[in-house]
Amino acid sequence: MTSAAVDQERRGQAAADPGTVVVDRLGVPAPPAGQGLAQVLALGLPETARQRLQAAGVERLVDDPAEAAGSDAALLSTRLPRAELEALVAAVRAAATVPLVALAHTGGEAAAVELVRLGAIGVVAEGNEAAIGAVVRGTVHDTALLESYERQAGDAGEGAESARDEVTGLPGEAALRHTLAEAVQAGEVPRVACVRVLFLEEAARRLAPAAVALLRRRLASRFGELCRANGAQLHALSLADFALLSDRLTPHAMEALGARLAAVTETYAPSGQRTLAVAMGHAGPEVATDPAALVELAQRALVVAAAAQRSGVVGAESLALGTSSTTELEAARRLLAHVEQHDGHPPGHGERVARVAVALARDLGADAPTRARARLAAHLHDIGKAGLPAEAMAGTEALDGDLLWSYRSHGVRGADYLRVSAGEEVAQAVRAHHERWDGAGFPDGLAGTAIPELARVIAVADRFDTLRHGLPGREPLSAGGAVAALLAEAGTVLDPDLVRRAVALLPALEHADRDAP
């Protein structure tokens, strides 16, 4: 049977029986919109999460996989031992075909990725249990994932890898990571804190460079005195960001130190209008023992603390609803990393496509919120490939039958995953990024301007990156070769106006795509 015939047959099956599942690992379709959750199978959930589910309107919680048949959804916690996840999913599947959702705790993103690979239709963070019903029903919940992504995009900071900060003389991020790794190897898991001086960047725009340098040296000196007195090492990461490392401070002691840092900082009002403040996020051995995970969790706690726009300290262990979006974002990033290991694209494909998409969106005159949606949708456009059979991920021309059908489902799967936490516009852009201008694309056969504009932007950016970086069996093209290939597909595969814009923007796109060979 030809690929087109398979597509037509499967579309007919889906129309006749919305519950049809072609490949077992693709999960299950959600119940019709508006259907309530009378019963949920909840495995491994802490009592606080169960209470929040009940407060969100779930009438009955059960914890026996055999009761999946009478449940509207199955909810598996990432707090369960990872060695047990596959067996538990199999037990649920043996009892009934029921939508499966991963409930992720802070630090449990790797287990959430595993659950999606085993068939979960989505990931919801602890503290955001109210979204469970929206995930299962496929209805819109909020845009927390989008907001979290936009706060973190480009947040790495310049000069992070320098050995010492030139202004303060303090060791930099590379030294922090080296010291942290050595401590962990020695069997001593320290506490890491990320500190941000709020409003310093704003003040720096109004001050002379010499005045900014003097202010930073004074802050670093006073911070250093407090850190030494409390057994902590101070590092400078960027203009406004510092990090602390201590093998003796408890969570309570770190919070007390954060309060002292804030008290010192609040004595400065360099712009003459707004007093500086300190936000701190910290993580220790009670939540993670891996050095990278400690830094990551401390940074995520910092994001939450800084969002209040006033002095405050947040510990990773206490993160709940405030960091549900960052937990979901981290799970999404890990899913995408898994995809990029198997789909043939060189690493960083999603990030590069996002940079090009934002450049195109800006050229179209898009406002900041629209550019944020473009960035997120482009970055995660292939997330729906997670959980597909490995041989289907690359979408090669040799695919046929079930493998071709499963590959062509990835836009729909990605849209369903993102709809709940990123909004409908992001979801529709991801769903439609393989539609073609001439109507010969998938999954819905849309043509021309019936394809959402954001999906058309992603299609051009995706194609540009693939041409420049290649795939297995397809050598990367030069800039000139990529331009010729884009022009050849204008008006058939791609939006011709967007192709013209991309060609005109080639120098900017090459800069955005700075990792190109």
What does pLDDT average to in each consecutive run of 10 residues of the chain (517 residues)? 43 36 35 60 91 86 92 92 92 91 85 91 83 74 61 42 76 85 78 95 89 92 93 93 92 94 93 88 83 84 89 81 62 87 87 91 86 91 91 80 91 89 90 97 96 97 90 80 93 96 79 46
**Domain boundaries of the chain, sorted by first residue:** 31-141, 173-322, 343-512
What pLDDT, on a 0 to 100 scale, did the predictor assign at position 400? 85
For the stretch 324-350, what's the b/e string if a residue is b when 16 or more beta carbons lie within 10 angstroms of its beta carbon?
bbbbbbbbbbbbbebbbebbbbbebbb
Q: Do strands 100-104 and 60-62 pair parallel, antiparallel, or not at all (unpaired)?
A: unpaired
Fold designation for 173-322? Alpha-Beta Plaits (3.30.70)
DSSP-derived 3-state class of residue 101: strand
Whole-model pTM over 0.75: no
- Asked if 378 and 350 touch (Cβ cutoff 8 Å), the reply is yes
Fold designation for 343-512? Hypothetical protein af1432 (1.10.3210)
What pLDDT, on a 0 to 100 scale, did the predictor assign at position 103? 92
Find where tokens 């996989």 sit.
65
Question: What would the two tokens of residue 241 be?
Answer: 């960001």
31-141 and 343-512 have identical folds: no
- From residue 127, how far is each of 212, 220, 418 by CA, in Å? 40, 36, 18
Which of 355, 299, 358, 305 is CA-nearest to residue 329? Answer: 299
* Beta-bridge partner residues of 236: 242
Which of 265, 239, 244 is CA-nearest to residue 254? Answer: 244
> What is the rounded CA–CA span in Å between residue 120 and residue 30?
11
Right CATH number for 31-141 from 3.40.50.2300, 3.40.350.10, 2.30.42.10, 3.30.530.20?
Answer: 3.40.50.2300
Which of 194, 183, 189 is CA-nearest to residue 241? Answer: 194
> What is the rounded CA–CA span in Å between residue 131 and residue 123?
10
* Strand order across the 277-283 sheet: 233-236, 241-246, 191-198, 277-283, 312-315
What pLDDT, on a 0 to 100 scale, did the predictor assign at position 10? 43
> What is the rounded CA–CA span in Å between residue 291 and residue 275?
34
